[in-house]
Amino acid sequence: MRYALTKETAADAADIETLMDLAFGPGRHSRNVVRFRDQRAPMPQFCFVAKKSKEMVASIRFWPVCLPDGQVVPLLGPLAVRPELRGLGIGRGLVRKGMDAVRLSGAPAILIIGDPGYYAPFGFRVEPVRELDMGGPVVPLALMGIEYEDGSLSRQSGTVTPVPIT
């Protein structure tokens, strides 16, 4: 199937909300991770959508979060693909595209609350974030991270917090 991966624009916002409702259901607004996103904007330079014949079919976003030392890093997610188009590599394509954009930006690391079965092949591991927590439950998923700067995650301990509201 042919699809295009492009930067998210303001015009995509409503379609992304619809897609996330479809993918995560009505309970999505009560998850712990929502605290990190409420009243805060995603990092637009890392957010991409997949479009098939100009129709949006998948989205990946990254939100800024604060490490215990105050450094801001992107938290990957949410990632969602329209149910009828899953298993075609669109999710993987979006994860690679977003991770490349983060790495090229010079960011020291990425965090994710996700399923290790899906994210480990991209290099996400629980080891660098063993001493970090998200200030609330993440199960049945796991907190994982990837470092582009050695020690940027693994030398820290404590709670990851939402960035201040500006």
Ligand X SMILES: CC(C)(COP(=O)(O)OP(=O)(O)OC[C@H]1O[C@@H](n2cnc3c(N)ncnc32)[C@H](O)[C@@H]1OP(=O)(O)O)[C@@H](O)C(=O)NCCC(=O)NCCS
State the residues that interact with ligand X by CB under 6 A.
23, 79-81, 86-92, 114-115, 117-118
CA separation for the pair 102, 153 (Å, rounded): 15
Closest to ligand X by CB, 117 or 164: 117
Contact 91, 4 (CB under 8 A): no
Q: What is the DSSP letter of 94?
A: H
β-strand partners of 51: 4, 56
CA separation for the pair 96, 64 (Å, rounded): 18
Closest to ligand X by CB, 34 or 149: 34
Closest to ligand X by CB, 18 or 157: 18
CA-based nearest residue to 142, from 156, 155, 125:
125
- Closest separation in Å from C-beta 5 to ligand X: 12
- Closest separation in Å from C-beta 57 to ligand X: 9
- Closest separation in Å from C-beta 79 to ligand X: 5
- Closest separation in Å from C-beta 92 to ligand X: 3
Closest to ligand X by CB, 66 or 118: 118
Report the residue closest to ligand X, judged by CB: 91
Q: Under DSSP, is residue 38 helix (H, G, I), strand (E, B) or coil?
A: coil
CA separation for the pair 64, 160 (Å, rounded): 11
